[in-house]
Amino acid sequence: MEKHCEGGAAADPASGSDNSGSSSTLTVQVKFGGRSIPVPVPAEAAVRELKSLLQPLTNVIPRGQKLIFKGKVLEDGATLRSYQIINGSKIMLVASQGLHQGDGPIKKPTSSSQSTTRRIISNSRDSQLHKTETRIEKSRAERWKITGVVALSECQLREVPDEVWGCGSSIRALDLSTNFIQQIPLKISDLKSINKLLLNGNDLSEDSICWEGLLSLKLLSFLSLNNNRLTALPSALGSLTSLRQLHLACNNLTALPTELASLTQLEVLKANNNRYTISYTCFKSFLCFRTKQIDLSSNLLTELPKTLGNLYNLKALYLKNNGVRTLPPTLFEGCRQLSILDLHGTEITNDVLRQIKGWEDFDERRRSKHQKQLDFRVGSSGVFDEGADDNSRGH
């Protein structure tokens, strides 16, 4: 008589799969965020192995996962078999607040009703913009030429006014943040003396920026592209060798071009809230000895390269809400100016930090810089409290 698996599926004698869980691999259904996630896992695996497999599928780091099967909370060290979990078993995942990598747990897609509401709001906004046009007075353009500063943030602009291009090399700083600009044309190359450019919070993708024009601005030292729709950056960005600050937060970037290694003047890189997954690809792009601050918070990083310890001018490193479990062994010894290290929402514990050479010196620098805050937050205990947890702390 043919044997049937749970749910009516026939067993496959060739694969050795059956509902007893005796096969080498079984698939469990994890309920989370309104969806069911099928997860293949070794039948003899421990619960902690299942949590590791769930991390890239849910963005919830293992320490923030609580798995429940038949009303019981699963212990990390126990095996799935010990809980009689078999092929097709349903397990519930509960995520702890804040213990996630990236922007947060991956949940079910937005409903059609929500999408319809957003379209109505968008159409209403566009209608309003057609009725209201920002007029640039001639006297204002003349002031721009005198001061060299153009501040046009939150002006409901759909495109860059021609008066801006007319100022040409007179402009030193241009702020076009929080508008509805969808294109940066070749005319940007007319601003030959510009050193600060802010394009935050528009509707820009990599295809809507004329990179040829932007990359001709050889005096540019500050470039901010936060809160746009960028998914990639051109390799030629490395030609902006005067850049000291590069802000790329809140886009959909997955990697940085290796040519950014040419940015030898770069001091600040803010690339938080993106989708970086491979740390080596990211870090090798900006291993500049001048780099003082790096923010890679809320990405999908799981490990960091050893070469990070080469940044001897690094003072601040922000890594919160990533899946990293350890730090490079030379970080504290190599980065002798490092005094700010944010590890909130990661897998790194205090015990891990104490085993890294140079920890004592780093801890002293941290205390010296933030003594008042430390006295208020941790009293006399002296425990490192920048996101790392003790092993004994519960989930």
Return the C-alpha torsion angle 309, 315, 319, 325, nearest 10.
40
Q: pLDDT band at 289, cuts 50/70/90? A: confident
List CB contacts of 76: < 8 A, sequence separation 6 or more: 46, 47, 48, 51, 62
Mention every residue, 6+ apart, whose C-beta is less than 8 A from residue 97.
Answer: none
Q: Answer whether 25-95 and 139-229 agree in fold.
A: no
- With pLDDT > 70 as the criterion, what percentage of the chain qualifies? 75
User: What average pLDDT does the chain have?
Assistant: 82
* 149: pLDDT strictly greater than 60: yes
CA distance 234 to 18: 51
Specify whether the CB–CB gap between 29 and 90 falls below 8 A. yes
The DSSP H or E segment spanning 27 is strand 25-32
Hey, CA dihedral for 386, 389, 394, 395, is it positive or negative? Answer: positive
The torsion angles phi and psi of 94, rounded to 5 degrees, stand at: -115, 125
Does residue 227 or residue 104 have the better pLDDT? 227
- The CATH classification number of 139-229 equals 3.80.10.10
**Based on the number of CB atoms within 10 Å of its own CB, is 303 exposed (0-12), middle (13-18) or buried (19 or more)?**
middle
- Fold classification of 25-95 is Ubiquitin-like (UB roll) (3.10.20)
Tokens of 313: 């001018």
Are 50 and 57 in contact by the 8 Å Cβ rule? The answer is no
Backbone phi and psi for residue 30, each to the nearest 5 degrees, phi listed first: -100, 120
pLDDT, tens only, 322-351? 988 889 999 999 999 999 999 998 889 888
CB neighbourhood size of 1 (10 A): 3
Amino acid 104 reads G
Residue 2 pLDDT greater than 60, yes or no? no
pLDDT of residue 350: 87
d(CA 314, CA 292): 4
Q: With cut-offs at 50, 70 and 90, classify the pLDDT of residue 56.
A: confident
CATH code for residues 237-395? 3.80.10.10
Characterize the bridge pairing of strands 65-69 and 72-73: antiparallel
Domain residue ranges of the chain, discontinuous segments joined by +: 25-95, 139-229, 237-395
- pTM for the model stands at 0.72
* Other Cβ atoms within 10 Å of 338 Cβ, number: 23
Amino acid at 336: R
Whether the Cβ atoms of residue 43 and residue 17 lie closer than 8 Å to each other: no
